[in-house]
Amino acid sequence: MRILFISDAYIPVPCGVAVSVESLRVSLEKRGHKVFIIAPSYRNWKDSSPRVARLNAIFHPTEAYRPYIWPTSSVSRKKIQSLKIDIVHSHFHFNNFDLPYRIARAANTPLINTVYRIFPEHSRISPPPLSSKNASFEKSLKKMIAYQNNCDRIIALSKMSKKYLLKYNVTPEIDVVPIGIFSGDFASFPPETVKEKLKIPLKRKLVLFVGDVSDENNVRLLFRSFKKVWHAIEDVHLLVVGTGKLFHDMKHALAREQFAKFVTFTGYLPKKQLNKIFGACDILAYPGRLDPQPLVIIESLASGTPVVAVEGMGSQDFIKDNVDGFVSKPTVEDFSDKMIELLRRDNLRMQFSQKARMEAREFRSSILTSDLLHSYEKAIEKFKDKII
């Protein structure tokens, strides 16, 4: 099969969509399929693969990788047709651009879209300047529905995400197919190695957070909850991996807190390095509520590290509550209490760790790639019937 991915976020963008697109590419090409990719062009970045095409964009002035207008040039219809594509698959992190729809129609192939971000809900938290939250939500919702309804099939990453789309009358058929992982990528550094490198006392239990330090990821809840955890447990440390809109503000604010020496901000870490840190921590804390599939949850489970996550758009679909982690209500009290319980009860944490590795097997890339290919086949078959 000849597959065209179109994404507004691809290597070297430090986000889950870019990681997912690359993981899917590798998985599909291992099976003998050819994957072509169209993505924005980034300054000082060159691809080694001839099957990756970069199109110029106008980027947001305060966010290096966020395309505001994309592409800024036209795409050759003749060139697209020469690729003899079987299906176009769109992946968006920043916005719903209409490029995939135009290319799919030029190639006379079905368009399938994976819903990574629920843009209307994000707009409630970060509305554009001079725009009310309600107006921004309505505009974003209308745009999202219009794009989805122009697709031939939709991939939702979780059951909750599918439920949301159905609520707003998204009409194409929706398959739930999460992004898979390669389990072998998560062999961990020894805990003492990580702690020594980061100058964290060896006796401290380690709580890990991975993601953007932003309101979208509910980080204020994380820090308020950790303060309670720190008061309850003497030797505990919070490791924050990632950057984001609130990175500097939160770092400066926490520097004035009594527990400042019990929090380490690493900033962005390369994916290969990050993969080896999950298993060196005692628990992963995930406060976000908007991500249909928080990939870090599955990565943590694959590393044998239990997760405490806040219920939301997808977290509860990937954790078996009280089996390989805890699902918390979106309150400081419940989130912190569940972290405290798991940190205090070493035997329970060990049981959860063993279960986590087992449960993560169902998210292996080999299994979920088969599901994705089945969705492709159904989309292609239905598209042929429509043409006839």
**Per-residue model confidence as pLDDT tens digits over 221-252:** 999 999 999 999 989 999 999 999 999 999 99
- Whether residue 388 is predicted with pLDDT greater than 60 in this model: the reply is no
Domains of the chain with CATH codes: 2-180+364-387 (3.40.50.2000), 183-363 (3.40.50.2000)
* Separation of alpha carbons 7 and 341, rounded Å: 41
* Separation of alpha carbons 234 and 229, rounded Å: 9
Band (282; pLDDT cuts 50, 70, 90): very high
**Per-residue model confidence as pLDDT tens digits over 110-145:** 999 999 999 999 998 877 665 666 789 999 999 999
Work out the percent of the chain whose per-residue pLDDT is above 70: 98
DSSP string for residues in 164-215: HHHHTT--S-EEE-PPPB-GGGGPPPPHHHHHHHTT--TTSEEEEEES--SG
- pLDDT at position 63 is 84
pTM of the model: 0.93
Measured in degrees and rounded to the nearest 5, phi and psi for residue 199 equal 60, 45
* Separation of alpha carbons 270 and 161, rounded Å: 29
* Separation of alpha carbons 20 and 67, rounded Å: 19
Band (183; pLDDT cuts 50, 70, 90): confident
Output the six-digit token pair for 378.
Answer: 């159904």
Instruction: Look over the chain and give the mean of its residue pLDDT values, rounded to a whole number.
Output: 94
**Per-residue model confidence as pLDDT tens digits over 43-99:** 999 998 999 999 999 999 888 899 999 999 888 999 999 999 999 999 999 999 999
Peptide bond preceding 71 in cis form (omega within 30 of 0): yes
